[in-house]
Structure 1
Amino acid sequence: MKIAIVTGASSGLGRAYAKQLDRLLHPDEIWLIARREERLQALAGELGCRGRVLAMDLKRRESVEVLEALLAEERPEVAALVCAAGFGKFGRAQDLTAEETGDMIALNCRSAVEVTRVCLPYLERGSRLLEVASCAGFQPLPGMNLYAATKAFLLRYTQALRWELRGRGVKVTAVCPYWVKTEFMAVARDTANPDAVRHTPFAMRPEAVAAWSLTMNGLDLAVATCGPIPFAMEVGSKVLPACVPMALWDKLRRM
């Protein structure tokens, strides 16, 4: 059985990836993972293939254990894995609660690594692996410090994983878009300091980001920046000391 697995599938980028993988790969099933079961059920009804709803909270380790057991039982070929689950919070480090801090690290970092780990034995030559990071991971960002740090972690993890998997024929890409028009903004502003980042201009549609990154992954590129602004940020991070983009960002976020 050939399947695709998408985390964070109930909305935004995860939902867009599920629908595009359905058309692109024609898998037997797409395993849809997120907390909100009713949204997953609705998405499953829109797919051409069978959508298997796995309503679980990936911040909880036992959720990954359930996925691991299901994979061991069914032994599918994982034709595509997209780790799109994640969230951010605006505000300085001192503005965030212990719960917000722990949950962000657990979902953005640990869950992506653990889901990837349990899926690796089922990836075959030609399989696709996309880890949704962010252009925020290219440099430190005061005012959304922890979120940027989690995405820097995921970016480096994905780059090294790509190297480790060389020779297996698995296409591994870190997805690093700019702002995306999803529920991210509302969640990020629901914090003690919502004005830490005042504006999020030039946001892209999730469908465009998913299509762009899947194309880049098909070309076996290591990083998909999905637009000129994140591409400039990637290049800038390689030639400028970190204090320069931090100072520029610190002014832009207050405008």
Structure 2
Amino acid sequence: MKIAVITGASSGLGREFAKQINQHFVTLDEVWLIARREERLNELKESLHGVHVRTIPIDLCDRDAVGTYEEMLQKFHPQIRVLVNAAGYGKMGYVEQISEEDLAGEIRLNCESLTRMTKISLPYMAKRSNIINIASSAAFMPQPNFAVYAASKSYVLSFSRALHQELKKHGIVVTAVCPGPVNTEFFDIAESYTKTKGYKVILRANAGKVVTLAIKDAMKGKTVSTYGVVMKAFRVVTKIIPHGLIVPFIH
């Protein structure tokens, strides 16, 4: 049985991956959707056609709950054709403003849970399988007023690149998706402490287009997928100009 596993599937880019995944990975027998909100997962399941959908309503920050996913893998022993690690969140604001719980939560979900899901899934992946990790253009450089989120996404980008090299011998491709601001529910949570800067509102990309490119890039074997001319230029600039000069300007 070939499956796709998508975390963070109840909203945002995860939800969009769920809508598009079987259009590109045509040999799938099932799609496993993972998120905390069971009601949202069930609504999404009802809207999807052409492939059998299995919902797994768990909190990825709960180590015991993640064990449920591991037990399902052991029970069904599927081949994971593609794993999409899309669960994550960020909080805008200065570190001194944001609660310790929120800061630690970003690291647990964006970094620890993503790593654990990948580790658990790897034994069930074979040649020509894909891992798609949602990072961010924030991964390209430190970002004051978004410090922990940017740092957590830098981890995702670095981890993805290193893992891709490790898994080459197995024929498994790892792609880090690094979009700029995307028009999703992400900012409803991110703006708990402060409002989004104007340029980030203007630059918000369409979620469907970001996901379409991400899947195509993953299938081409690319290690990084960056949507849009502006974000691609931003990526180049952060490679050329020292971060010590750019960070004060961004701030």
Q: Shared fold (TM-score greater than 0.5)?
A: yes
Structure 1's unaligned 5+ residue stretches are 251-255
How many angstroms does 1:241 deviate by?
0.8
How many angstroms does 1:224 deviate by?
0.4
Letter in 2 for 1:3: I
Letter in 2 for 1:13: L
What is the rounded CA distance, in whole Å, between the counterparts of 1:127 and 1:63 in structure 2?
25
**Change in CA separation of 1:197 and 1:95 when aligned onto 2, cut-off 3 Å:** farther
Aligned mate of 2:75, from 63, 73, 79: 73
1:154 aligns with 2:156: yes
How many angstroms does 1:67 deviate by?
0.9
| 1:125-181 deviations in Å (ceiling 9; x for gaps) | 111110000000000000101100000011000000001001211121000000000
What is the rounded CA distance, in whole Å, between the counterparts of 2:89 and 2:177 in structure 1?
15
Q: What SS does structure 1 have at the residue aligned with 2:47?
A: coil
Q: Calculate the aligned-residue CA RMSD, in Å.
A: 1.2
Structure 2's unaligned 5+ residue stretches are none
How many angstroms does 1:245 deviate by?
2.1
C-alpha contact (below 8 Å) 2:4/2:32 kept by paired residues: yes
C-alpha contact (below 8 Å) 2:183/2:204 kept by paired residues: yes
Task: State the partner residue of 2:136.
Answer: 134
C-alpha contact (below 8 Å) 1:2/1:79 kept by paired residues: yes
Task: State the partner residue of 1:218.
Answer: 219
Task: State the partner residue of 2:55.
Answer: 53
How many angstroms does 1:199 deviate by?
4.7
How many angstroms does 1:227 deviate by?
1.5
How many pairs were matched up? 248
Q: Which runs of 4+ in 1 moved over 2 A?
A: 195-199
How many angstroms does 1:198 deviate by?
4.8
C-alpha contact (below 8 Å) 1:177/1:209 kept by paired residues: yes
Aligned mate of 2:181, from 173, 179, 182: 179
Q: What SS does structure 1 have at the residue aligned with 2:133?
A: strand
How many angstroms does 1:202 deviate by?
1.5
How many angstroms does 1:248 deviate by?
2.4
What is the rounded CA distance, in whole Å, between the counterparts of 2:151 and 2:88 in structure 1?
13
What is the rounded CA distance, in whole Å, between the counterparts of 1:184 and 1:42 in structure 2?
19
TM-score, length basis structure 2: 0.96
How many angstroms does 1:247 deviate by?
2.1
Task: State the partner residue of 2:241.
Answer: 240
Identity level (%): 38
| 1:82-101 deviations in Å (ceiling 9; x for gaps) | 00000010101111101101
Task: State the partner residue of 2:8.
Answer: 8
**Change in CA separation of 1:22 and 1:46 when aligned onto 2, cut-off 3 Å:** farther
The 10-residue stretch of structure 1 (175-184 or 236-245) with the greater mean CA deviation from structure 2: 236-245
